[in-house]
Amino acid sequence: MKPYDYLIVGSGLFGATFAYRARQAGKRCLVIDKRPHLGGNVYCADIEGIHVHQYGAHIFHTSDKTVWDFVTSLVPFNRYTNSPVANYRGELYNLPFNMNTFAELWGVRTPEEAKAKIDEQRAEALAALDGREPANLEEQALCLVGKDIFCKLIKEYTEKQWGRDCKELPAFIIRRLPVRFVFDNNYFNDAYQGIPIDGYNVLTGKLLEGIETRTGCDFFKEYKDSWRSVADRLVYTGPIDEYFDFRFGRLDWRTVSFRTRVEDTPNYQGNAVVNYTSREVPYTRIIEHKHFEMFGQAVYDNPKTVISEEYSAEYKPGMEQFYPVNDARNNVLAERYRALAAEEKDVLFGGRLAEYRYYDMAPVIARALAVAVF
Ligand X SMILES: Cc1cc2nc3c(=O)[nH]c(=O)nc-3n(C[C@H](O)[C@H](O)[C@H](O)COP(=O)(O)OP(=O)(O)OC[C@H]3O[C@@H](n4cnc5c(N)ncnc54)[C@H](O)[C@@H]3O)c2cc1C
Catalytic residues: 176, 180, 254, 285, 310, 358, 360
CB 94, CB 101: distance < 8 Å: yes
What binding mask, one character per residue, do residues 21-40 give for ligand X by CB under 6 A, x or -?
-----------xxxx----x
- How far is the C-alpha of 177 from the C-alpha of 88, rounded, in Å? 19
Which of the ranges 161-169, 298-306, 332-340, 359-367 carries the binding residues for ligand X, by CB under 6 A? 359-367
DSSP output for 72-120: HHHS-B-------EEEETTEEEESSSSHHHHHHHH---SHHHHHHHHHH
Cα dist from 93 to 71, 99, 178, whole Å: 33, 10, 16
Bridge partner residues of 258 (DSSP): 310
Measured from the CB atom, is 57 or 95 closer to ligand X? 57
Select from 19, 20, 41, 349 the one that contacts ligand X (CB under 6 A).
Answer: 41
Interface characters, 221-240, with ligand X (x: CB under 6 A) = ----------------xx--
Q: In angstroms, what CA-CA distances link 357 with 54, 240, 316, 360, 362?
A: 21, 11, 18, 10, 14
Residues 249-288 that bind ligand X (CB under 6 A): 256
CB of 98 to ligand X, least distance (A): 20
Rule CB under 6 A: which of 283-342 touch ligand X? 322
Exactly one of 220, 295, 300, 374 binds ligand X (CB under 6 A); which one?
Answer: 220
Residue closer to ligand X (CB basis): 98 or 237? 237
* Amino acid identity for residue 212 in this structure: E
Cβ neighbours of residue 137 closer than 8 Å, sequence gap 6 or more? 158, 166, 167, 169, 170, 171, 173, 174
Least gap, CB of 271 to ligand X (angstroms): 15
Phi, psi of 181 (to 5 degrees): -100, 45
Question: What mask of x and - would describe binding to ligand X in positions 60 to 79, judged by CB under 6 A?
Answer: x-------------------
Determine, following the binding rule CB under 6 A, whether residue 360 of this chain makes contact with ligand X: yes
Distance CA 144, CA 138 (A): 10
Q: Does the footprint of ligand X cover residue 196 (CB under 6 A)?
A: no
In the complex with ligand X, which residue's Cβ is closer, 278 or 284? 284
Decide whether 59 or 105 has the Cβ nearer to ligand X. Answer: 59
Ordered DSSP codes for 194-247: E-BTT-HHHHHHHHTTT-EEEES--HHHHTTTTHHHHEEEEEE-S-HHHHTTTT
Choose, by CB under 6 A, the member of 4, 14, 227, 268 that binds ligand X: 14
199/238 with CB nearer ligand X: 238
- Closest to 330 measured CA to CA, from 228, 241, 258, 215: 241
Q: Which of 109, 259 has the CB closer to ligand X?
A: 259
Position 190 contacts ligand X (CB under 6 A): no
Q: Which residues bind ligand X (CB under 6 A)?
A: 9-15, 32-35, 40-42, 56-60, 218-220, 237-238, 256, 322, 351-353, 359-362, 364
